[in-house]
Chain A
Amino acid sequence: MLAYIIRRLGQSILVMAAVSLISFSLFNFVGDPVNNMVGQEATREDRLRIRENLGLDDPIIVQYVRFVGNAVRGEFGLSYRVRRPVDELIKERLPATLELVAVSAVIALILGIGAGVYTGIRRDGWLSKTILSSSLVGVSLPTFIIGIALIYLFAVTLRWLPSSGRAGLVEIGWWKTSFLSVDGWRSIILPALTLSLFQLTMILRLVRSEMLEVMQTDYIKFARARGLSERSINFVHALKNTLVPVITIIGINIGGLIAFSVITETVFQWPGTGLMFIQAVDFADVPIMAAYLCFVALVFVVVNLIVDLLYVFIDPRIRMAGR
């Protein structure tokens, strides 16, 4: 068991090393860092001096080690554009994105699993068919169209919810949360719903097909033949067996949620890391891009590590094999 965790951890570190190499190379390949920092009128000598001060003349391996050393401590240098430390900027923006992703993940999980189980059991009911066909909207329409449609409906026509921005913030230390005020909740609902729709559909369809498959197995038939109640068969015997593949997909998708949040945050002007990244790309703000890359990779790695550990928790066969 311990060996299994250590092996997974080792793999995670390997992935992070590869990603850090890519983000490090951004500095060297996306424009000349000195040009990005100094104005038009800087002299040749100035440029050389800055190069030396920044350590850009050191061997590439030394620079990389220095970069990793700083990155581990969360330091990615100054943003070219706003001249503030990148880690500070990310720290400012992070709560917005994490809260958005958390709310949309919860929506996607609850509705996705619930509707998936329902449509898997009542395969031919009219409600199942309605859910299935309307869920196609979730995958076939791009996020920004859904976002704009929701804004049009709820903010412009019905005027129930705000159209954009992040209002009603309450500060807890450095973390600004939307969860503690009505306005905060009102402003998070639309972007969270938009972001969750795609994931919701994926989870729904996956749970449904897994349920259909599990319901055909001998052990479900045997459970029926022992006279167990429908509720126990559906939610104890069947659902647990659908979870392993579902959790795999969720693991990959939580990372996807953060990546997709770039678009949603743009549509709703949500002040999260995704919006910051888009702005950084516009200005070729390499330190922010590099930091964002590392950050997203870290999220992916951590989530997948948790997923791997969850497998072990759910499926005893993996537990034994891992020993």
Chain B
Amino acid sequence: MSELLEIENLDVDFLTRRGNIHAAKSVSLQVAAGEVLGLVGESGAGKSTIGNAVIDLLESPGQITAGSIRFKGDELRGKTEDQMRRIRGDQIGMIFQDPQTSLNPLLRIGEQLIETIRKTKGIGQSEAEKSAEELLESVGITEARARLRSYPHQFSGGMRQRVVIALALAGDPDLIIADEPTTALDVSVQAQILDLIRGLCKSRNLGVIIVTHDIGVIANIADRVAVMYSGNIVETGDVRQILGNPQHEYTKSLIAAVPRPDKRLHRFNSVDYIDGSGDAADTLNRIDINTHWLGQQSQLQQTPATFNKDAPAIEVRDLCLAFKLQGAILKRNRRMLQAVDRVSFSIAQGESFGLVGESGSGKSTVARLIAGLHKPDSGSVEIVGQSVLGDQKDPRIKAARLNLQMIFQDPYSSLNGRLRVLDIVAEPIRFYKQSDNEKHTRRLVHDLLEHVGLGKDAALRYPHEFSGGQRQRISIARALASRPRILICDEPTSALDVSIQAQILNLLKDLQDELGLTLLFISHDLPVIRQMCDRVAVMRNGSICEIANAEALFTNPQHEYSRHLLELMPRMDVIGAAL
């Protein structure tokens, strides 16, 4: 088979003031027509750099320092900007990650499509209009003619990504480079888009490079896989061979870190191949929970009136909340969104309860209602048997709330960048007056940081000095600082790489075992839910479809929507065969 694209010994360097960063080191790849190559790796591995290098759109100060890129036997390096412009769009199309931002918000879909078609094919306006319409239809957009007149914001995320694909196909390219094409999309939409790309690849005989961090995507779409780690391709081969029988140590640990959809493991295998970010907790002093402050209850929590050992940790009944989409003086003119609609469930102490659903299903809103960040329109919320709605200054409500802490999704915006880690973690201790004096507070913070695997040196640094996974550890330390019995984790790992995700999930599991924590775990990611939760509630459009034991849900879902979600879950049988 003749190769469409051949990359040989490619080196890409970013010359910065702090020295030379090798983003790609002697990378060699081949893609044939009609083949999907998956380029997989974690953030910073240099996988996007390869895609950008091929179409000569490396961001400054990146530059290719060695190697060759041959497209249909023609060397691309050394071509002028003008020649490259004719290749972009015409011969090689790009698809980017976020369909929300890759379309110009001020131009109609039609204008953007027609401009691209006219440029790449050199045809007239009316012909281009017709071909734009056909193109939209071929990517599965109905009523294409009318949709040409729409603006990007009038499309949903999945529809926009279809438009982006149509734009990438406008010049009839032979090679498509898709950079994380489904990362920003919901599971059900992701499956459709992957099907579309795969279908186009086969029907048009395109070569496709899919750049992604998601092993599930690779398992579903790729014919061959190249695994990248810190600028190097560590392993290339057939998808079944790589995922089923990985040879390289990195590939092995990467695949071990992927949450299994098919069975529950007690812990993830340790993923210590990744330099400097292994399960560092093992080497640090972990405190003895039985004797330490963290394992004991505070005075406030022990007050018998507010603490009932047999009461459910969290109980919500008929919770409702509507958001106002558009205000109006007359009630009937207001447009409301029923974000949470008669939600009831009960979580026993020490249980881990999962809340799963697609974006917009209201799962985060439920968490926020329980944490007291929103006020429900109706319904009740009880924490350890104490109703927590009403006057928030009531000491009984305060004491009940002390039992509950939250960990947020985005480790970048949930920590105050102007405070030292010491002050961030100490805040709950100081607020609830949980320590005797400042010296004690500091020692507690150091202990907490060591316990979550950071080391006490972290206390004097600022959040921006830490990576995403480390920041999430800081968030966990902060949550533990008020000695909660219940943790609400709102997508705690969805912004993290898969190996880091495995570490954080391990940490949460360990903490739960040691401290007997109750977890309310919110995620859109079914395999993660399966690894973490005893019972699961499936949410859709603000209401709960089904509550079931995790094993029962995954083996025998009752509700139609649960079945639908499970079907969309990436198949990982290739992995299961080997491990």
Interface members, chain B 113-151 (any A CB < 8 Å): 115-116, 119-120, 151
In the bound complex, what is the Cα–Cα distance between A175 and B276 (angstroms)? Answer: 79
Q: Which of A225, A240, A315 contacts B57 (CB 8 A)?
A: A225
Kindly state whether residue B259 has any CB partner on chain A within 8 Å.
no
> Interface size on B (CB < 8 Å)?
32
In the bound complex, what is the Cα–Cα distance between A224 and B92 (angstroms)? Answer: 12
Q: Which of A227, A315, A320 contacts B119 (CB 8 A)?
A: A227
Mask: chain B, 374-395; 1 = CB below 8 Å from A; 0 = not: 0000000000000000000000
Q: Please tell me if the beta carbons of B115 and A232 are within 8 angstroms of each other in the complex.
A: yes
Q: Please tell me if the beta carbons of B101 and A217 are within 8 angstroms of each other in the complex.
A: yes
Dominant secondary structure of chain A at its interface with chain B: helix
Mask: chain A, 217-231; 1 = CB below 8 Å from B; 0 = not: 111011111111100
Q: Which of B90, B94, B106 contacts A314 (CB 8 A)?
A: B106
Query: What is the CB-to-nearest-CB distance from B97 to chain A, in angstroms, rounded to a whole number?
Result: 8
Kindly state whether residue B105 has any CB partner on chain A within 8 Å.
yes
Q: Please tell me if the beta carbons of B88 and A227 are within 8 angstroms of each other in the complex.
A: yes
Q: Which of A221, A228, A229, A241 contacts B105 (CB 8 A)?
A: A241
Q: Which of B164-172, B336-344, B446-454 contacts A (4 or more CB under 8 A)?
A: B164-172
Query: What is the CB-to-nearest-CB distance from A10 to chain B, in angstroms, rounded to a whole number?
Result: 14
In the bound complex, what is the Cα–Cα distance between A223 and B105 (angstroms)? Answer: 13
Kindly state whether residue B89 has any CB partner on chain A within 8 Å.
yes
Q: Please tell me if the beta carbons of A224 and B171 are within 8 angstroms of each other in the complex.
A: no
Interface members, chain A 169-221 (any B CB < 8 Å): 217-219, 221
In the bound complex, what is the Cα–Cα distance between A227 and B170 (angstroms)? Answer: 11
> Interface size on A (CB < 8 Å)?
22
Kindly state whether residue A59 has any CB partner on chain B within 8 Å.
no
Q: Please tell me if the beta carbons of B87 and A237 are within 8 angstroms of each other in the complex.
A: no
Q: Please tell me if the beta carbons of A221 and B96 are within 8 angstroms of each other in the complex.
A: yes
Kindly state whether residue B248 has any CB partner on chain A within 8 Å.
no
Q: Which of A224, A226, A241 contacts B168 (CB 8 A)?
A: A226
Q: Please tell me if the beta carbons of B115 and A225 are within 8 angstroms of each other in the complex.
A: no
In the bound complex, what is the Cα–Cα distance between A236 and B87 (angstroms)? Answer: 21
Kindly state whether residue A317 has any CB partner on chain B within 8 Å.
yes
Chain A positions within 8 Å of B43 at CB level = none
In the bound complex, what is the Cα–Cα distance between A259 and B159 (angstroms)? Answer: 50
Query: What is the CB-to-nearest-CB distance from B567 to chain A, in angstroms, rounded to a whole number?
Result: 31
Query: What is the CB-to-nearest-CB distance from B190 to chain A, in angstroms, rounded to a whole number?
Result: 19
Q: Please tell me if the beta carbons of B88 and A224 are within 8 angstroms of each other in the complex.
A: yes
Query: In this complex, what residue of B is CB-closest to A214?
Result: B104
Chain B positions within 8 Å of A218 at CB level = 96-98, 101-102
In the bound complex, what is the Cα–Cα distance between A228 and B93 (angstroms)? Answer: 12
Chain B positions within 8 Å of A39 at CB level = none
Query: What is the CB-to-nearest-CB distance from A243 to chain B, in angstroms, rounded to a whole number?
Result: 8
Which 5 pairs from chain A and chain B are nearest by CB?
A227-B89, A227-B88, A225-B94, A226-B89, A218-B101
- Chain B residues with CB under 8 Å of chain A are 55, 57, 85-90, 93-94, 96-98, 101-107, 115-116, 119-120, 151, 153-154, 164, 167-168, 170-171
Beyond A227-B89, A227-B120, A317-B151, 13 additional pairs, beta carbon < 8 A: A218-B98, A219-B105, A221-B57, A222-B103, A225-B93, A225-B94, A226-B88, A226-B167, A227-B88, A227-B90, A228-B116, A315-B106, A317-B105
